[in-house]
Structure 1
């Protein structure tokens, strides 16, 4: 059984261009992120899914340097990018990860994968009904489900965010949410804004030298002792990008109806 983690990453970002390669302790953020995912005991292969945009060549070059597979697909149609990468690497099951989450916890990813198999579901995630900090998001689904979605999804938000088609159709797919025992969803550990990057850099500067494989619990303990760290990026809200996608869908549907 082949479980492939597909990590989507691109240089373009309206709020923080080139964020995935911004340095943290002298190494690109994406390299740190991959190092953490490699600690998973369930994932058989990691593939970075980037785009054919010339700006993204820097991501391909980094992957080559650190010995990680990369796939270059369409810039806007991320769903197609995932499908083509999953097919190329003969995935039976796919773990979807995004390149703006350098604090990803491999143990939590493994727990989600176990949960997915125990529940015998089509799709399991820890972010559809979030209880973990924003920035620890992961989703698991079978290649068969991905292929079905790839064949049918047409809305721009479904192509951009890969999985909304699944949770928009609960009558067709068995969907399960893996929840943490405490709701930590108010915490912001993703990197979308400069302040987010500053926050993540502080976490790495403090924890990485003493424990390179630091976990979510280590970060929580650090924030308990140093609550001022969480103030660095507190003003930003979860899922800002989703609002833009909904606008694109409205435009797409308006154009469709006008033809």
Structure 2
């Protein structure tokens, strides 16, 4: 009976902070050089520094000191990206050219992470502040997938629990539309626990386009970084926002460019159909 009593006392004892494992987080920048509208855009200089390097510097500046991984393909055409280790502060993983989920998982395994943040290499000015906020919200809720309800385009990424990525890949290893990974989570709320985050209102400027797909986008970034004289250092959203509010004409440089996954109704219909999983895992 004494043994049973001891076991019961242990079971009912409060959990202390030393017994709770803090989840490990990594930030994975997904990037390739296959773009057709703005060829090899990740290598294009913005005020003298490659766009992908600017993105990586901002990821390294996310509060919390998380490990950053550049996840590209194993194709010869993408090998120039493997040089961007930023003095060995960034890990490099290569993998399937088309399966983004698989490359995210490789990035997580390379850093032994429980949570992985997906940032696209198209976004040189991704916000360290917003990424820190998203990570905190994900950890608080224990969700499978955390995303911003509304944001300034190009400033924030998605957050995934690694176990949820493994479940998705177990269901369908091919993932024919993995480039649009978030659709697999949006369209299967019965399989995944979704967490829609409302960013602070002062961070949200839906009229701004801070991503790189067209020559006008490059012109905006070059104008912005040159005017602010941003050298080899991160650019916070606070700085960027202050500049664009003071110089609204710069934000007009790429106004009106369509976003394929949002504005192309045929593509959206195709994505919704292809990423809706037909049965439970």
Query: What TM-score do you get using the length of structure 2 for normalisation?
Result: 0.79
CA distance in 2, matches of 1:233, 1:214: 20
**What are the residue-to-residue correspondences of 1:167-182 with 2, within 5 Å?**
167-182=186-201
1:156 correspondence with 2:205? no
Match of residue 193, structure 1, among 214, 221, 225: 214
CA distance in 2, matches of 1:237, 1:92: 35
**What are the residue-to-residue correspondences of 1:105-144 with 2, within 5 Å?**
105-126=127-148, 129=149, 131-144=150-163
**What are the residue-to-residue correspondences of 1:56-71 with 2, within 5 Å?**
56-63=78-85, 67-71=89-93
Between 211-220 and 225-234, the greater mean CA deviation after superposition: 211-220
2:236 equivalent in structure 1: 215
CA distance in 2, matches of 1:211, 1:70: 20
1:41 equivalent in structure 2: 63
Q: Check the 8 A contact 1:133/1:185 in 2, yes or no.
A: yes
Which runs of no fewer than 5 residues in structure 2 stay unpaired? 1-22, 276-281
Between 214-223 and 197-206, the greater mean CA deviation after superposition: 214-223
How far residue 221 of structure 1 moved from its aligned partner, in angstroms, is 2.1
2:18 equivalent in structure 1: none
Aligned residue pair count: 249
CA distance in 2, matches of 1:89, 1:211: 25
2:95 equivalent in structure 1: 73
Q: Check the 8 A contact 2:60/2:66 in 1, yes or no.
A: no
CA distance in 1, matches of 2:44, 2:115: 30
Q: Check the 8 A contact 2:187/2:272 in 1, yes or no.
A: no
Cα distance change on mapping 1:213 and 1:74 into 2, 3 Å: closer
Which of the pair has more CA radius of gyration? 2
How far residue 163 of structure 1 moved from its aligned partner, in angstroms, is 2.8
How far residue 98 of structure 1 moved from its aligned partner, in angstroms, is 0.4
CA distance in 1, matches of 2:142, 2:271: 32
CA distance in 2, matches of 1:201, 1:6: 25
Query: What TM-score do you get using the length of structure 1 for normalisation?
Result: 0.86
Which runs of no fewer than 5 residues in structure 1 stay unpaired? 254-259
Cα distance change on mapping 1:155 and 1:214 into 2, 3 Å: closer
